[in-house]
Chain A
């Protein structure tokens, strides 16, 4: 089945620094990838849709200048959390799917900002 790989699985950073999270589709090409954020004991909230070769589409309330998304190839999307603050601490999960197939998730990245 489709495999989505996400790295790193855990990251701890200091307030004010930036963190990059990678999402790769290992056995299929993904023109679109999705980035979700999940706070403890809460649901998955779509942050943005990453589009290969064009600008990402951000959901309402998500700051595009803070959460930079780059989708430079058909198998890689990156999410950079810039000037991270403690309130950005969360579980970030990417997802993608081959055409007409169910959505598959990466392993997620647990971000802790100290």
Chain B
């Protein structure tokens, strides 16, 4: 089955700096890659996703890049703010839809004011 690895497990940045979280996946058939943000004790919230037919997607301060050849994808957050502090999970799907997701281990992002 699919295996998703995520790095780093913890990341601290100064407010205003950029944060990058990286994930790799094992199954070349995966074609959907969402990123979720989870605050303590709350549900994961989808923040951005990308499908394998594009290499990059951007939404304001958040961007995701995908390298299908290398089987890795990354989350980029620019101009970080304290409210960006949370756990971020990457995920991959082999079914072509959002349904059967395999999650990475998570990254605890702390934005220092």
**Is the contact region of chain B dominated by helix, strand, or loop, or is it mixed?**
loop
Interface residues, chain B, with chain A CB atoms under 8 Å away: 34, 41-46, 49, 89, 97-106, 108
**Which of A62-70, A71-79, A101-109 is near enough to bind chain B?**
A101-109
The docked-state distance in angstroms from the alpha carbon of A105 to that of B102 is 14
Q: A46 contacts which chain B residues (CB < 8 A)?
A: 100-102
Q: Are B99 and A103 in contact (CB under 8 A)?
A: yes
- Minimum CB–CB distance from A69 to chain B (whole Å) comes to 16
Contact of A104 (CB < 8 Å), options: B46, B97, B100, B102: B46
Q: Does A12 contact B (CB under 8 A)?
A: no
Interface residues, chain A, with chain B CB atoms under 8 Å away: 32, 34, 41-46, 49, 91, 93, 97, 99-108, 110
24 interchain pairs, CB-CB under 8 A = A41-B108, A42-B105, A42-B106, A43-B104, A44-B103, A46-B101, A46-B102, A91-B41, A93-B43, A93-B44, A97-B97, A99-B97, A100-B97, A101-B98, A102-B34, A102-B46, A105-B43, A105-B44, A105-B45, A106-B43, A107-B42, A108-B41, A108-B43, A110-B41
The docked-state distance in angstroms from the alpha carbon of A101 to that of B42 is 21
Q: Are B44 and A102 in contact (CB under 8 A)?
A: no
- Minimum CB–CB distance from B109 to chain A (whole Å) comes to 14
The docked-state distance in angstroms from the alpha carbon of A100 to that of B103 is 19
Q: Are B42 and A108 in contact (CB under 8 A)?
A: yes
The docked-state distance in angstroms from the alpha carbon of A49 to that of B81 is 36
